[in-house]
Amino acid sequence: MTMIICMRTQKIEHKLGIPSKRLLIKQAKRNEHRKLYETMLFDDVIPFWMKHSPDREYGGYLHMLDRDGSPYSTDKFAWPHGREVWLFSTLCDEVEKRQEWLDMAKLGWDFITKHFFDKDGRVYYSLTRDGKPLSIPRRIFSETFVIMAAVRYARVTGDKEAARIARELFRKVTEWVETPIAGSQKAIPGARDMVTMAIPMIMLNVTREMMLLDGETPDLISYSDKCLEKILTLHIHPERKLAFENVAPDGSLMLDIPEGRFLIPGHAIEAAWFILQEGMARNDQSLIDRACDLTLWELEFGWDKKYGGITYFMDSEGRPPLPLESDMKLWWCHNEALIALLHCLKLKGSNEFEEWYDRVHEYTFNLFPDREHGEWIGYFHRDGRVALPIKGSNWKCCFHLPRHLLIGWKILKEMEGKKDEG
Amino acid sequence: MTMIICMRTQKIEHKLGIPSKRLLIKQAKRNEHRKLYETMLFDDVIPFWMKHSPDREYGGYLHMLDRDGSPYSTDKFAWPHGREVWLFSTLCDEVEKRQEWLDMAKLGWDFITKHFFDKDGRVYYSLTRDGKPLSIPRRIFSETFVIMAAVRYARVTGDKEAARIARELFRKVTEWVETPIAGSQKAIPGARDMVTMAIPMIMLNVTREMMLLDGETPDLISYSDKCLEKILTLHIHPERKLAFENVAPDGSLMLDIPEGRFLIPGHAIEAAWFILQEGMARNDQSLIDRACDLTLWELEFGWDKKYGGITYFMDSEGRPPLPLESDMKLWWCHNEALIALLHCLKLKGSNEFEEWYDRVHEYTFNLFPDREHGEWIGYFHRDGRVALPIKGSNWKCCFHLPRHLLIGWKILKEMEGKKDEG
């Protein structure tokens, strides 16, 4: 009887435009999360990098940072430089053109243009503090992060040289990506043909960034189509409800070798929201649906039922995945999952996404934030013990976390504005 | 009063040649451990590899083995092939010439000579099951393990071609080792000069193996001297009581970069017993003393005071070591430590070594042996939870464990025979 009354009351409220209790709770939660994202991004994470990463002596960034922000190495890597320039330029592009953010972006961009290019226009993998080359890259990621930096930096500064570099490097990378770089691969070319999802994934993202510079030109759309096709038809296997990192060039599974069974659920979910972003930009519901499905599949497969959190590496057939860090919990997988889930929530709003969002949100914001020194601790053992307390390395830098907080904050604001229909 | 009587009794026992209670306990322990080593080596570990590793269809070994011995991949790597041929040949060389062991060695050696060499005489890093090359090596370890295999195989079979291959490959490797292999290194040559202990270490061991073939020739002794000098004067820093994996070419420490602070206590202890072995062969007490010191230093630094066991990777300055598997416990570090400690015990017999031996023995034999499927589980988290239950990979294979059991068994037998003087 009570239940019936409640249901009737809810119906009446709906008709009258009065939000139900459930809706109110949800809106309060969105509001609380929006504030959490806002505070963490603008009062914690960004200030952390603004305080600790500028190298006022040599230019560029110090990004090999211990838990308290002190550098444990002064070597400079291309990925963190490209990514941090991208982040600060993107803040200027999408939030407001604050001088201190522009200065941060300029500090990194000037160092990149001064030191990171070799004579053939490739981007070194790492340099000494003063810009002496230390190592060359094996793949194209150094270049892709520099392209992303260049696009955003050009947009917010009007720097024509940055725009030129973005266009030229993009053109070169689309060529390099087709052939392995001579001498840089340990595998014998042609011995066992295998394609890896990371390449079309990053290129899909970079191409979308290029469109911010040059618009949705036929060339860029066509390149983006190619990347989408590779991810969707080769790597994502709906019959298995999984995305495989490495497959044969025709997309067939290589389940007899560990590389072929190798899964990175957090990476697949990052791919999901790259696809979803394309779906939104193109107003393509089918793309959105496929991305939302992939997000759920990977969460269901990758979620650690015992300790919670998204498992780093897995084997599709339940064999032991070989990397020793496989069962760890890494910050970035959770950043990517929350971006994907917030997109899904906004677009679909089903209970299924709401439940996963709550679960991932709670786990993530309980575990990773460093309440003592700010920013997030990135590396935890399976059971939630700290494995590596650093704030920055050649991998962890000013990127996944602030990108998540920025995108998440914007989505949560939109959802607040949208008056969730629950 | 009681104590005085006891002491008097002990003295009398000594004079009469009656062993003290302490001595009896020690002898009983040696006897028990000798039996443990014997049983584990001949009734468990060797049978495990004889059962699961032969590839009767294509030749060579299947060494990517899951916990129960079933292969999770059929790819074939050079390290495990060289090492397993070495192990079975060495059993024939040092225990007895059993036909089944000779057959095992031949199965691997024939596959190596048929498939593993490229046209320039380099050894491929990995092949498909049927011998198609998959990847080239970046350093010289593929070759060094094949040299070790060739030496022992030649000794026990009289195979002249194996002896020729050993000599030729040894000559080539001593050249290759001086210059980085073109195109195989990611670091830019000369950008930051750094030498790594792994190279003189393996070459010291390989040179000692070569002496089993050609005797202590002036050339081999001179090469061995060079390796010893590098390890002792560049890498081992008595002022720090540590061996540094990576140092500047003049031996100075590079403490401003993570690579320069990088320590692998189990690896340094392996270096210690290679040096100790040289000391014994050359009857050089100073080498023996330095090796015994290094063993203690590294145990004191590397032993996990909280959970026990030897920590895998460490940072000399207490900064976070970057590899994510740093705080894990790996089987091979404990194999190497027990070999070193048994040598030290036999040669020095002090309470200090006895205590460390007991501690490492107890930890190791409690944690690693797989009581269900035989052999050892190789990879544990810091707190003793299983991280990776595999028996074999491209790293873990028929080597560290049976080598330890074989050497340890021989030392324990010698100590039994020696009638320990306590």
Q: pTM value?
A: 0.92
Check residue A420 and give its pLDDT: 45
Interface test with A, best of B126, B132, B139, B188 (most A CBs within 10 A): B188
Interface test with A, best of B64, B186, B379, B395 (most A CBs within 10 A): B186
Side chain identity, residue B82? G
Tens-place pLDDT, residues A38-73: 999 999 999 999 999 999 999 999 999 999 999 999
Measured at the CA of A364, the angle between CA A360 and CA A365, to 5 degrees, comes to 120
C-beta contacts of A175-182 below 8 A and 24+ residues apart: A176/A140, A176/A143, A177/A140, A177/A203, A181/A137, A181/A138, A181/A139, A182/B183
Nearest to residue A373, comparing CAs of A125, A47, A31, A116?
A47
Cβ neighbours of A256 in B, within 8 Å: 73-74
Instruction: Confirm or reject contact between A187 and chain B (CB < 8 A).
Output: yes
The pair of structure tokens assigned to A264 is 């990175």
pLDDT higher for A420 or A243? A243
pLDDT higher for B163 or A16? B163
Residue A130 has a CB neighbour count (10 Å cut-off) of 13
Q: Is B283 exposed, middle or buried (0-12, 13-18, 19+ CB in 10 A)?
A: exposed
How far apart are alpha carbons A227 and A277 in whole angstroms?
A: 13
Please indicate whether, in this complex, the C-beta atoms of B325 and A324 are within 8 angstroms of each other.
yes
Nearest to B381 among A182, A256, A381 (CB): A381
Residue in chain B closest to A395 (alpha carbons) equals: B322
Whether A315 has a pLDDT exceeding 50, the answer reads yes
Q: Answer yes or no: are the C-beta atoms of A210 and A155 closer than 8 Å.
A: no
Task: Please list the helix, strand and coil fractions of chain B in percent, rounded to the nearest 5, in that order.
Answer: 60, 10, 35
How far apart are alpha carbons B271 and B289 in whole angstroms?
A: 13
Residue in chain A closest to B378 (alpha carbons) equals: A324
How far apart are alpha carbons A396 and A387 in whole angstroms?
A: 14
How far apart are alpha carbons A110 and A76 in whole angstroms?
A: 14
Nearest to A389 among B66, B128, B320 (CB): B320
Whether A186 has a pLDDT exceeding 60, the answer reads yes
Which DSSP category does B149 fall into?
A: H
Mean pLDDT of A129-149: 94
The pair of structure tokens assigned to A288 is 């959105």
Mean pLDDT of A129-140: 92
Residue in chain B closest to A396 (alpha carbons) equals: B322
Whole-number percent of chain A with pLDDT over 70 = 93
Binning pLDDT at 50, 70 and 90, where does residue A1 land? Answer: very low
Query: How far away is chain B from the Cα of A267, in angstroms, using its nearest Cα?
Result: 18
Tens-place pLDDT, residues A260-311: 999 999 999 999 999 999 999 999 999 999 999 999 999 999 999 999 999 9
Nearest to A324 among B138, B258, B387 (CB): B387
Nearest to residue B74, comparing CAs of A263, A314, A260?
A260
Nearest to residue B313, comparing CAs of A324, A67, A63?
A324
How far apart are alpha carbons A126 and A375 in whole angstroms?
A: 24
How far apart are alpha carbons B251 and B233 in whole angstroms?
A: 7
Name residues of chain B where pLDDT drops below 50: 1-13, 182, 184, 420-422
Look at residue A332 and give its three-state secondary structure: helix
Check residue A188 and give its pLDDT: 85
Query: How far away is chain A from the Cα of B266, in angstroms, using its nearest Cα?
Result: 17
Check residue B18 and give its pLDDT: 63
Check residue B186 and give its pLDDT: 79
Binning pLDDT at 50, 70 and 90, where does residue A235 land? Answer: very high
Residue in chain A closest to B188 (alpha carbons) equals: A135
